Amino acid sequence: MAFLGIKRKIAFICVNHLFVGVKQFERKRKLLNWIGYDIGEGSKIVGPLVCTADLKIGKNCWVGKNFIVNGNGKVTIGDNCDIAPEVIFQTGGHEIGNSERRAGKGVKYEIKVGKGCWIGARSTVLGGAEIGNGCVVAACACVLGKVEENTLVGGIPVKTIKYLPGD
């Protein structure tokens, strides 16, 4: 158990400090796979990265700087996705408690992002969200619930702005 903690620290020091930026993509990918994340071939992570959840990123994705995955849930990102800088995926939450303490029992969620999506800068994706294939999430949007395939969404909470052509 202690060895896993040391491995994680070493990997995150490398990804977030030594190899941060637009170089050493393959090394960062291999380090993250080494500590239990599933990062597909050709995917590029700029870093820094904070992740406490189960994370799977498909092939040929781009993940911008300051990507944060909070909570103990699960995030699955499909192939060919682009995640802009400062995006947050929130996989943890709470049930609403009584008036003594409103943040009740902790809950973990799953988030799914389909293939070919583009998540704009500073967007937040909340637990339980499902973003269909080929979607665009506008910058600073807050995604909760389900987003239909091939749509452009934006706002807080997101609303459909436009339907995009499919294949």
Q: Model pTM?
A: 0.94
**37-163 CATH fold:** UDP N-Acetylglucosamine Acyltransferase; domain 1 (2.160.10)
Give kind and range of the element (H or E) at residue 102: none
Give per-residue pLDDT as tens, 119-160. Answer: 999 999 999 999 999 999 999 999 999 999 999 999 999 999
Cα separations in angstroms, 6 against 12, 54, 68: 10, 18, 21
Residues of the chain short of pLDDT 50, as ranges, are 1
